[in-house]
């Protein structure tokens, strides 16, 4: 039996979504009608949550589209840190109450523009003012109940259309009592116009650093993906006017990733709405297990999964990882 040690269990409870965001590959998924049966979620909760540090609801789709979201919330009472990642458009009085009652620790709202025109263009189908009012509703409820959780976060996907507004996004975050901002660069997808990809340009660096410094000034936690950090370091190194390193305490690109491994798949379970399980979002081969049929410990001890995890402790990468765009970021 192999010792079970999981950092994150990421569960997409549905593949439905109400938006068609400009950059999102999943917006074109023709099969957007799967909902995870509540009993499958219950089994996942019972069998995996006791081993995990963190639970994330939604990685690729919109959890609030699940017709039995209320029942799913009933299984989130765990010792782990729980996070809902949402586009924020479908939050309402009822589901906010449920989320609060579930003991959810964080709600991360994807927030890609400080101006209505930018936000509505990128998050196609969303209305800027509706998302703002939903965030205010959460804050009001927390105030009335005199509670701190769920804390609020922004998930910002930076691209050419919104990079210039990044400092204003941070200003809005402060106004909306956001405690944490996670940002990453847009990734290339078949639906994204090429001219939205961030380029190594001083304007981008300046806007990003202004936003980052504002977040620090306001005491907002600021988390940068490894690939964004790498882009900023690249611009910085070319910019002789900048004498101080941007990320002095970084555990990202410049240090831990030097070996080339992303490390992702050895620490997480990625569970899809049909119950299938992969070690990470980019796992491109057959899923390792299926929670509609298999028990978690049988999945964990499957030969492929054991060999995959062991590969992380060696200098020989798992054969399929070398084809992944995140495998070697340097
Ligand atoms: C796929 S969404 C799923 C959760 C939820 N529907 C939402 O929008 O927050 C998760 C995050 O991925 C981001 N995302 C979508 N397409 C992306 C891309 N091409 N590059 C980088 N991030 C992307 C979204 O902006 C969002 O913050
Ligand atoms: S809301 Fe989330 S899942 Fe839906 S299209 Fe936008 S990024 Fe994709």
C-alpha 185/C-alpha 160 separation (Å) is 10
Distance 63 CA to ligand 2 centre (A): 10
Query: Per-residue pLDDT tens for 39-65?
Result: 999 999 999 999 999 999 988 999 999
Q: What is the pLDDT of residue 239?
A: 61
Q: Which helix (H) or strand (E) holds 72?
A: helix 69-73
C-alpha 15/C-alpha 58 separation (Å) is 9
Please state the three-class secondary structure of 174-227 as a single string. Answer: HHCCCCEEEEEECCCCCCCCHHHCCCCCHHHHHHHHHHHHHHHHHCCEEEECHH
The low-confidence residues of the chain, meaning pLDDT below 70, are 1, 28-30, 238-265, 325-330
Instruction: Kindly state if the Cβ of 21 falls inside 6 Å of ligand 2.
Output: yes
Q: What is the pLDDT of residue 281?
A: 80
**DSSP class per residue in 243-262:** -S-S-TT--STTTGGGGS--
- CA distance readout (Å), 298 to 4, 257, 288: 12, 31, 10
313, with CB counted inside 10 A (0-12, 13-18, 19+), is exposed
Distance 104 CA to ligand 1 centre (A): 20
Pocket probe for ligand 2: among 15, 20, 24, the residue whose CB has the most ligand atoms within 8 Å is 24
Pocket probe for ligand 1: among 110, 193, 281, 326, the residue whose CB has the most ligand atoms within 8 Å is 110
Give me the phi and psi of 46, to 5 degrees please.
-65, -40
Which residue, among 278, 280, 329, has the nearest Cα to 299 in the 3D structure? 278
- What is the DSSP-derived secondary structure letter of residue 306? H
Q: What percent of the chain has a predicted confidence (pLDDT) above 90?
A: 68
Instruction: Kindly state if the Cβ of 23 falls inside 6 Å of ligand 2.
Output: no
Provide the 3-class DSSP secondary structure of residue 21: coil
C-alpha 191/C-alpha 86 separation (Å) is 20
**DSSP class per residue in 82-137:** EEEEE-SSS--HHHHHHHHHHT--EEEEE---SSHHHHHHHSTT--HHHHHHHHHH
Distance in angstroms between the alpha carbons of the first and the last residue of the chain:
35
Distance 317 CA to ligand 2 centre (A): 32
Instruction: Kindly state if the Cβ of 42 falls inside 6 Å of ligand 2.
Output: no
Instruction: Kindly state if the Cβ of 14 falls inside 6 Å of ligand 2.
Output: no
C-alpha 61/C-alpha 281 separation (Å) is 12
Ligand nearest to C-alpha 83:
1
Distance 231 CA to ligand 2 centre (A): 24
Which residues neighbour 64 within 8 Å (Cβ) at sequence distance 6 or greater?
Answer: 86, 90, 91, 95
At which residue do the structure tokens 């009592």 appear?
177
Instruction: Kindly state if the Cβ of 22 falls inside 6 Å of ligand 2.
Output: no
- CA distance readout (Å), 309 to 170, 175, 268, 304, 305: 38, 43, 11, 9, 6
Q: What is the pLDDT of residue 330?
A: 43
Contact assessment for residue 6 and residue 269, using Cβ atoms and an 8 Å cutoff? yes
- Phi-psi bin for 304: left (phi > 0), alpha (psi -120 to 50), beta? alpha
Distance 173 CA to ligand 1 centre (A): 18
Contact assessment for residue 106 and residue 128, using Cβ atoms and an 8 Å cutoff? no
C-alpha radius of gyration, the chain, whole number: 20
- The pTM for the full model equals 0.92
Query: Per-residue pLDDT tens for 74-123?
Result: 999 778 999 999 999 999 999 999 999 999 999 999 999 999 999 999 99
Q: What is the pLDDT of residue 329?
A: 46
Query: Per-residue pLDDT tens for 242-253?
Result: 544 566 655 443
Nearest CA to ligand 2 atom 6: 21
Provide the angle, in degrees to the nearest 10, between the axes of the packed helices 166-175 and 202-218.
Answer: 20
């Amino acid at each position: 039996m192999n010792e079970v040690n999981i950092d994150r269990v990421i569960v997409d409870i549905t593949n439905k979504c109400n938006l068609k965001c400009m950059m999102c590959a999943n917006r074109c998924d023709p099969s957007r009608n799967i909902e995870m049966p509540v009993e499958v979620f219950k089994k996942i909760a019972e069998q995996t949550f006791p081993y995990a540090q963190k639970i994330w609801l939604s990685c690729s789709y919109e959890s609030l589209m699940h017709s039995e979201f209320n029942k799913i919330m009933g299984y989130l009472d765990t010792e782990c840190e729980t996070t809902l990642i949402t586009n924020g458009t479908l939050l309402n009085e009822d589901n906010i109450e449920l989320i609060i009652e579930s003991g959810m620790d964080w709600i991360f709202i994807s927030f890609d523009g400080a101006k209505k025109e930018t936000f509505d263009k990128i998050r196609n189908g969303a209305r800027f003012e509706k998302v703002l009012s939903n965030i205010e509703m959460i804050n009001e409820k927390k105030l009335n109940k005199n509670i701190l959780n769920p804390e609020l976060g922004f998930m910002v996907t930076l691209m050419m259309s919104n990079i210039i507004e990044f400092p204003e996004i941070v200003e809005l975050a402060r106004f909306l009592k956001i405690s944490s901002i996670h940002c990453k660069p847009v990734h290339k997808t078949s639906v994204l116009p090429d001219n939205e990809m961030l380029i190594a340009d001083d304007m981008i660096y300046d806007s990003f650093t202004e936003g980052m410094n504002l977040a620090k000034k306001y005491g907002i936690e600021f988390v940068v993906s490894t690939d964004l950090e790498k882009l900023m370091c690249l611009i910085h190194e070319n910019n002789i006017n900048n004498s101080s390193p941007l990320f002095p305490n970084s555990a990202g690109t410049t240090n831990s990733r030097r070996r080339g491994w992303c490390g992702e798949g050895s620490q997480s379970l990625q569970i899809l709405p049909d119950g299938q399980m992969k070690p990470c979002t980019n796992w491109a081969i057959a899923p390792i297990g299926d929670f509609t049929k298999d028990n978690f410990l049988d999945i964990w001890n499957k030969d492929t999964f054991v060999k995959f995890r062991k590969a992380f402790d060696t200098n020989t990468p798992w054969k399929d990882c070398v084809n992944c765009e995140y495998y070697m970021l340097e």
